Amino acid sequence: MIRLWNTRTRQDEALQPLQPGKVRMYVCGPTVYDRAHIGNARPVVVFDTLFRLLRHVYGLENVTYVRNFTDVDDKINARAAETRRPIRAITDETIGWYHADMDALGALRPTHEPRATDYIGPMIAMIEALIARGHAYAAEGHVLFDVRSFPAYGALSGRSVDDMIAGARVEVAPYKRDPMDFVLWKPSSDDLPGWDSPWGRGRPGWHIECSAMSRELLGETFDIHGGGIDLQFPHHENEVAQSCCANPSGKFANIWMHNEMLQVEGKKMSKSLGNFFTVRDLLDQGYPGEVIRLVYLQTHYAKPMDWTAEKAAQAEATLRKWRMLTAGAAPGAVAEAVVAALSQDLNTAGALAELHRLAGAGDAAGLLASAQLLGLLEPEMGAWAEVTIDLAPYAAQLGALRDKAMESKDFSAVDAMKSALMAAGVEVRMSKAGVELLPAAGFDPAKLPVLA
């Protein structure tokens, strides 16, 4: 039984699929005008891990995962104007970047990746239904959702409409009946993307996209809706309102899941602080995607996460050890304790603790299968950990130096070589049985000492 924390009800709930044996999940995807930063990648890893768990429990063919691309947006329009490039060229290129970067993190492609521009018709139809039911109105080429027409508005984020208005410091457009009303459709000038509609040539507002695409691909009600906590209000709140009003017989999403935000070295990520990184930045700096993924998995999705160089170094060392242990092994059975941990609100830290236990017990087959459930130790992600240099001669020389030192009682040469090996990122293990050398975090063959 999988249990998840439901943001909507603010309680832990058992996942009970609306269609027995089949699970449907929607996660808000990126607006495609630039590279994804490492905060954008957190929900990708979180919900990819949930996707993997659901497929393990229900079967690959019984899980439908939808993550959209917003490819019509004012930021995209601004980038096109700035670069004088066609909008489609920008969005196609950015989607390609996104796929490459998320693939590097070991994220599986969702079942469906709809582009907003392919669903303009369903968006217009949903807006027409909202107007017909008295939940939206046209004004000066715009169509706006009437927030006061939906009494439950604010329930998802725990806010009241009156409090939101009192705290607002934004200039209210004259065509709005209420300051909280939000745009479903807006007019487009000749130099902007636009589609013909009953209200004139225009383009959709941001929120209506996900409501229309999720209904088309998953139905009026589905099992799980996910995304970052920064989307809870207003995006997800608005999705709930327009979807429930357009589809009165549906509930939209049964369980809502939100991942917390990401920091870098204990501080909010900001370009002004010089700690703003895209996923590609980290990959280009030499951080393997698998290492980045493991750092993400170490923190529960509902808690703030801190990316640090120290965590990355520890993750790299751990993965090197696990890959050496599982080299040549075939995956066995996934450990029940790993599945049990993930089934308790995606407790990835608990699942990783079990992987450490399996590694300590020398269970290579169990470790490999269980790690792969978490998107780790996949064969195609391991090139970074391959050692192309034989460390045996270095171990032999260190052993010989130690034998001489045992007679002379002068261990300076042993200490010097040991220090040089460690500086090259080699873990040195010395015991009565002999000398063992293992590549560790930051292993760099170019820094190895010269053999005598």
- The string of DSSP codes covering 253-279 is EEEEEEE--EEETTEE--GGGT---BH
pLDDT tens figures, 56-99: 999 999 999 999 999 999 999 999 999 999 999 999 999 999 99
Residue 204 burial by Cβ neighbours in a 10 Å radius (0-12, 13-18, 19+): buried
Residue 376 has what pLDDT?
Answer: 98
Domain boundary among 340, 362, 385: 385
- Indicate if 18 and 112 belong to the same structural domain: yes
- Indicate if 211 and 305 belong to the same structural domain: no
- Confirm whether 276 is domain-assigned: no
- Indicate if 378 and 398 belong to the same structural domain: no
Residue 378 burial by Cβ neighbours in a 10 Å radius (0-12, 13-18, 19+): middle
- Confirm whether 163 is domain-assigned: yes
- Indicate if 237 and 378 belong to the same structural domain: no
- Confirm whether 267 is domain-assigned: no
- Confirm whether 279 is domain-assigned: no
CB atoms within 10 A of CB 249: 7
Per DSSP (E only), the strands in 19-128 are 23-27, 63-67
- Indicate if 120 and 10 belong to the same structural domain: yes
Higher pLDDT, 162 or 115: 115
Q: Which two tokens stand for residue 410?
A: 């002068």
Residue 445 has what pLDDT?
Answer: 84
- Indicate if 18 and 105 belong to the same structural domain: yes
- Indicate if 245 and 109 belong to the same structural domain: yes
Supply the range of the domain harboring residue 420: 392-447
110 cis-preceded (ω within 30 degrees of 0): no
pLDDT confidence of 373, banded at 50, 70, 90? very high
Query: Could you give the number of structural domains in the chain?
Result: 3
pLDDT confidence of 171, banded at 50, 70, 90? low
CATH for 239: 3.40.50.620
Report the C-alpha gap between 73 and 80 in whole angstroms.
Answer: 11
pLDDT tens figures, 24-66: 999 999 999 999 999 999 999 999 999 999 999 999 999 999 9
> Among residues 387, 452, 445, 444, which one has the least CA distance to residue 417?
452
pLDDT confidence of 256, banded at 50, 70, 90? very high
Domain boundary among 345, 361, 385: 385
- Confirm whether 281 is domain-assigned: no
Residue 32 burial by Cβ neighbours in a 10 Å radius (0-12, 13-18, 19+): buried
- Confirm whether 443 is domain-assigned: yes
- Indicate if 257 and 301 belong to the same structural domain: no
- Indicate if 242 and 371 belong to the same structural domain: no
pLDDT higher than threshold 70 for residue 170:
no
Residue 166 has what pLDDT?
Answer: 61
Distances (CA, A) of 92 to 97, 195, 266: 9, 20, 34
pLDDT tens figures, 105-115: 999 999 999 99
- Indicate if 410 and 344 belong to the same structural domain: no
CB atoms within 10 A of CB 200: 15
Torsion of CA 61, 116, 106, 344, to 10 degrees: -60
- Indicate if 49 and 114 belong to the same structural domain: yes
- Indicate if 299 and 356 belong to the same structural domain: yes
- Confirm whether 146 is domain-assigned: yes
Q: HSE on the CB side for 377, CA within 13 Å? A: 28
pTM: predicted TM-score of the whole model, two decimal places: 0.89
- Confirm whether 340 is domain-assigned: yes
